[in-house]
Amino acid sequence: MKPMNMPVPMERPPGTDLVQAVFQVCHDAVVFTDSAGRVQWCNRPFERLTGYRRAELIGGTLDRIYAEQEDFGVTHPLSGPRMISADHRIITNYLRRDGSLIEAETSGWSFLSTEGAILGHIRIFEDYTATNRLVRVKDKLFDAATDQATSPGEKVDAMISLACEFLHMPVGLVGLVRDSNLLVHKAKSTLAPIPIGTLFPLEESDCRIALAGDVPFETHSTEMAQKHPLLPDIGLRTYIGVPLVVGGERIGTLSFLNPLSRAGFTSAERQLISDFARFAAQQLAQERQIAALERAATQDWLTGAGSSRQFRHDIENVFRTVRRNDAQASLILIDVDHFKSINDAYGHDMGDRVLTNVARSLETVIGANRRLYRVGGEEFAVILPGSCADSAAIMAEQMRQRLAEAPDLASDMPSVTASFGVAELDPDITSQDAWVKCADIALYASKNNGRNQVTSNGSIAGVALPDELWREVQKKHAKTRKQSITI
């Protein structure tokens, strides 16, 4: 008894041998069906195209290769059996035996007897599957690149997902060079989590070879899986990677990994991976530019301390939080003593070095959880949420002592001291500007009393200060308000 749904053997119609003789050596896929649409013969390219053996097709219809298939998120309605006139060629969609999509340019005509009777139909298929998939993935890459609603980082994420899907690779990542390591900057993995920020040695992966090359580097292994630091429990058998170049500098690699072996990458796939790498490099360059602009707005270019703009933003937030929660906060202002004399005696280059060194010394005292701001030429500030004036004064004294320490004998740096003003955010202070003004008055009291000392607003309460000190404070704050309005 024969299995169900198997083609029924039948006598080959006239003309089949002639069709076979003519099209046997054709490089395109060819199939011959009788007048009822049953397959009588197909050549080897048709077998390779569809995944079916000739013996499986003979006597059956081509219905099995018509269906619907989703590719890159788009459902394609596939054509049903129909005749195509000899002067037409159309793109028709089919399914391989494994369920994957075939897109072929199809032409066909009827095969007639000498009496004009239809003996069968001939169809020729030219495979455009890879070409059309390539066009679609490039269109999607263009859409991702021109999407104004996404950041450069989001564009790279979308590119990696698109490339993994197109290449059938479960892992894709962007690694940036950090000394002798690569830092995982972006990653997609369906195998195991790969945390962003992970460092792994260049020497322990094929990325070291990809980084040095100019074209995609690939490896394939059909035997034991190679070890990889990001997939220690899985390993990999297929790798392809390409360098990321920004401004002539090789900053990292774009690579794709697979624990399974696969056929070598086609020239079109290798070219596409290079296109992906150029796209990723462009987005990374934009990320760098954006980060540089953000740093310029929030970080002082010389010392690395917070900028004056960031100081105004942060002190406003602290002021509001303290008032809302009935909490404490204090402010320390710092002014380098006789800085103009340092510039005059040693030059502005030395002055820049002194300011940088002052910032580093102050930061070692305040710790990593607090931020130092450069709020003027030689002026710095520290905001201390949760601190009273006494606690802030203790920290200010520690900073003063640190700066007053004699420089190393081998150093060409001049000795430096600084004056400090401390102001607690008292209940009667009505704004952040008034709070800064209180700290400024305390700072000017330190300078007026001989410099290289700490003064808090509590210690000068009720004390009559010289008129010239008040005028200096008023002049400075009028200038600060004007700058704040124009920025």
Helix (H, G, I), strand (E, B) or coil at 149: coil
CA-CA-CA-CA torsion sign (146, 148, 149, 155): positive
CA distance 280 to 248: 14
Closest alpha carbon to 181 in 119, 252, 86, 120: 252
Integer CA distances (angstroms), 273 to 101, 217, 218, 295, in order? 22, 10, 11, 32
CA distance 46 to 25: 12
Specify the residue for token string 């035996």: 97
CA distance 120 to 374: 87
CA distance 377 to 302: 11
Exposed / middle / buried, residue 168 (Cβ in 10 Å: 0-12, 13-18, 19+) = exposed
**Residue 11 annotated to the active site:** no
* Backbone phi and psi for residue 280, each to the nearest 5 degrees, phi listed first: -60, -40
CA distance 33 to 42: 9
- What torsion do the CA atoms of 266, 267, 272, 273 make, to the nearest 10 degrees? 70
CA distance 419 to 413: 19
Helix (H, G, I), strand (E, B) or coil at 72: coil
Q: Given 47, 218, 378, 424, which residue is catalytic?
A: 378
- Give the CA radius of gyration of the chain: 37
Strand order through the sheet with 217-220? 199-201, 181-189, 171-178, 249-258, 238-246, 217-220
Can you say how many angstroms the Cα of residue 144 is from the centroid of all Cα atoms in its chain?
13
Integer CA distances (angstroms), 346 to 304, 342, 359, in order? 22, 6, 19
Helix (H, G, I), strand (E, B) or coil at 5: coil
Catalytic residues: 378
